[in-house]
Each structure stands twice: as C-alpha cells, then as structure tokens.
Structure 1
Amino acid sequence: MKFLNRDDAGQKLLEKLQFLKDEKNVIILGLPRGGVVVAKKIAENLKLPLDIIITRKIGFPQNEELAIGAVDDEGNYIINEFITKIYSLSENYIQAKIRREALEAKRRLKEYRKNKKTLNLKNKIAVLIDDGIATGFTMKAAINSCLKKNAAKIIIASPVIAKQNLDLLAPLVDKVIYVIAPEEMHSISQYYKEFEQTTDEKVEKILNW
C-alpha cells in the first residue's frame, strides 16, 4: 500500500482517530516537518488544537539519515548505545551532535512558535503525529518530552510504522494508532507516491501563529 501524499495519509489516519471526538483536553502535536502536514488534517477535521513537539535525529557519522538517537529542544536525548559501541563512536562526537541538534531544535521551536506561550500538556491527552516512524528515535524523544511536560495520556499516531518499532513503542504510551505496519521498512518515502520535502515556510503557514 502506498499513500498518494501526506494529505492522503492524514485522511486515512483520521479514520482511525474518530474516537478522539469523545475525549476531553486533547491536543494534536505534529512532529516537524512532515508530521505537521499530517497533523493538520487530523486537527482540522476533529476541531482540535494543533501544536508541535520538536525533536532532532542524531545521525551516524558516514550516513546522517541513519539515526543513532534523537534529542529535543531542551537537550534531553536518547542514544542507541549498542550501535555506538559496535562502531566505536566517540563520546566527543556524540555529545557534539547532541549539542548541535538541540540548538537546531530550539531554533526551529522559536521560529515556528513565534511568541506563543510555552506548550502546556498538564492533564491533557497528547496525540503525537508523524508522517512515518522508521527507527522510532525521534518519536521516543517526543514521548519523553511529553512525559516531562506531565501529559495525562500519550497517544502516538502515524500512517506507517515499522512493525518492530510498533512493538517497542506500544509499552511506552497509552495507544498506538496506524494505518499500515510493514514487517520490513527501509524508508518512510517508499510508502508514499509523492514525498516532497516539507519546508519551514509550509510549517509556519500551517501553524499560522
């Protein structure tokens, strides 16, 4: 199965999230950039507030697309210690990447949220939405961020999620909602016919703050 684009993926995911109509204090949280496009479809149709959680992937030295961890805008991070030990990645490299990506997350948060008040998740149901979950690191970092912000419940939702990560993420949250969960997943883009890069400008336009 392939989604036409992120709008189509959001529409199909929306069908799985109708139960949110019966919940109170729900907030939709898109993970920039692509996740915000999907989240917009959900928030608009369910008439729920839309906000963002920003996490940044920590990439492998020779291949930035291969995640070895992730960090949020406050510097909270997770690292795959198994990978770092196998490839003898230095602590200096890891800490430097954490600092750099945390600063970039903070920059984007300031750029996207403008003068909007600090995100408050206390006693709220946080619904984390991305356009796909491959390694799961950025989503795990987003879950940790929601926990630190005292969310009452955490739901993660994505059009496509790797089966192995579905099994790993499910115990960390209250619900995992998805459309497809392939056994093997090499990239998120392989499940989209159109998967153009989402720009900062598009994210800002969607948020319209």
Structure 2
Amino acid sequence: MFRREPPLFANRTEAGRLLARPVQALGLRDPVVYALPRGGVPVAVEVAAALGAPLDLVLVRKLGAPGQPELAIGAVAEGVGTEPVLNAEIVAATGASEAYIAAARDREMAEIARRRARYMSGRAAVDPKGRTAVVIDDGLATGATARAALHALRRRGAARIVLAVPVAAAEALAAMQGEADEMVCLVKTKLFSGIGAFYRDFHQLSDAEVIAALASPEPPAQGRRVPRPGGRTG
C-alpha cells in the first residue's frame, strides 16, 4: 500500500491523520501504538486516537562509534535484557570492542530511563504481550532505530508488529522486510533527500512539546474520524 507521488505534509500532525486511514483499514485486534520520540510522537497521537488505542513510547538510542559519536554502530531499545542491534560492518570498520559496546549500551540505557521518566511522568509502560504493537515514526531514513524498536517489542511478547510511517526511503523499507509483520507507508521514494523534504514544518521537537502531546486526553474507545487525503473527514 504505497503511493509513489509524494505529497507535502503540512506537519507531523497532518501526516499522522493521513497515516491513520490505512492503519485503520488493517482491522487490528487489541492494538497498542508505540511512538519513536521525539518526531514520531505527534504522528502517533493521531493514529492512536483513530484506533481508540493506548499510546506509549518505545525509546531507542543509537550507539556512536569510537571517536565518531555521530556515526552509529547500532542502536539499543528499552527493555530488560534488550541487546543492541549492531551494524557488523561499521563495528568492524571502527574497531568498536565488546567492552566499548557494553559501556555505550549502559550509558544509553540510562538515558532511555531518564527520558521515559521525563516524558511519561511516572505512567506505567503498556505491556505489548499478546497484543498488536503499532510502531510509528515520522519517517524512515535508514531503519536502524526502527529495527531496534521492533526487536525490543518482539522480545516483550508482542503477538503482531506493524511498522507505520508517512514517508520512507525505498532501500530502508526493503531492508526492513521480515522485521515487521506488516508495513504501512504513504510515500516510498528512491531519490531520498531526507525526511524533512516531505514536510512544510519539520522543526526539531522540544521535550516540552513531546510531554504536551503525550498529556493529551485518552482517545475515545471507538476511535475518531480521520481526514481523507483531500482534507474531508470520513
């Protein structure tokens, strides 16, 4: 269910409303929506509201290479016993040792715990065991963080996993085949110039914006109507 003519989303909220329609069409049983913060949160708020599903976070942190913190050797997601998802080629090329990776993992897991406490204000995490986990981000560039999130939810017992994004690089989607039980994407592109190119407003969200979005009222049990691509609700 891909559209090749890329629309220009006004912002993440509009992208979420449009993404909600094909996700609703899947007829998911007992879904839980998990946002990848920060950018995935406003998208996920709309999908959760449309599904009438609880909204939670799946927190992921990349592991930077030795001496090159911006170069990811992999990523780690929250959860007891969660192991890093590593890029073996980059690990080998950068000489990252097992000790280095273990220390980086511990450091990022501490940051994940700090962010959950800040964003969720003490609210308990939603258990995905036996349920359908719908993982939402504002776009998929390489898929590294999304892959770590999917692995973490699978370990936590999710019965089915759906990855849903407004826009993604075709190569990233191809690489994610088999990671999720189903993928939903509105825009698939080969000439990927960055997620932000598909949004009029793609500002970096602040912690305060994330907290405010997550503090919005719980969605109604039957979900809500979402706009058709032309802007009308249906």
Give your verdict on TM over 0.5: yes
Name the aligned partner's letter for residue 162 of structure 2.
I
1:54-69 alignment runs, 5 A limit = 54-60=59-65, 64-69=69-74
Distance 1:101 1:134, change over 3 A: same
Among 21, 24, 27, which residue is 1:18 paired with?
Answer: 24
Secondary structure at the aligned position of 2:213 is classed as helix
Among 46, 51, 57, which residue is 2:56 paired with?
Answer: 51
Instruction: Show CA shifts across 1:147-175 (max 9, x none).
Output: 11101100000011121121121212110
Distance 2:71 2:141 in 1: 10
Query: How much has 1:41 moved relative to structure 2?
Result: 1.1
User: Which residue in the other structure is 1:152 paired with?
Assistant: 159
Distance 1:38 1:62 in 2: 34
Among 37, 43, 48, which residue is 1:38 paired with?
Answer: 43
User: Which residue in the other structure is 1:5 paired with?
Assistant: 11
Instruction: Show CA shifts across 1:55-92 (max 9, x none).
Output: 11223456644433111124531111101212334445
Secondary structure at the aligned position of 1:119 is classed as coil
Query: How much has 1:34 moved relative to structure 2?
Result: 0.8
Secondary structure at the aligned position of 2:176 is classed as helix
Aligned length: 208
Query: How much has 1:114 moved relative to structure 2?
Result: 2.6
User: Which residue in the other structure is 1:70 paired with?
Assistant: 75
**Structure 2 stretches lacking a partner, 5+ long:** 1-5, 217-234
User: Which residue in the other structure is 2:190 paired with?
Assistant: 183
Distance 1:86 1:138 in 2: 20
**Highest RCO, 1 vs 2 (Cα 8 Å, sep ≥ 6):** 2
Among 160, 166, 169, which residue is 1:162 paired with?
Answer: 169
Among 120, 123, 126, which residue is 1:116 paired with?
Answer: 123
Q: CA RMSD, aligned part only?
A: 2.0
Instruction: Show CA shifts across 1:127-159 (max 9, x none).
Output: 000001111111111111111110110000001
> Who wins on radius of gyration, i.e. which is larger?
2
1:125 equivalenced with 2:132 (yes/no)? yes
Q: Give TM-score scaled by structure 1 length.
A: 0.89
Query: Does structure 2 conserve the Cα–Cα contact (< 8 Å) formed by 1:34 and 1:197?
Result: yes
Distance 1:64 1:189, change over 3 A: farther
Q: Give TM-score scaled by structure 2 length.
A: 0.80
1:94-105 alignment runs, 5 A limit = 94-105=101-112
Query: Does structure 2 conserve the Cα–Cα contact (< 8 Å) formed by 1:73 and 1:103?
Result: no
Percentage of pairs with the same residue: 36
User: Which residue in the other structure is 2:203 paired with?
Assistant: 196
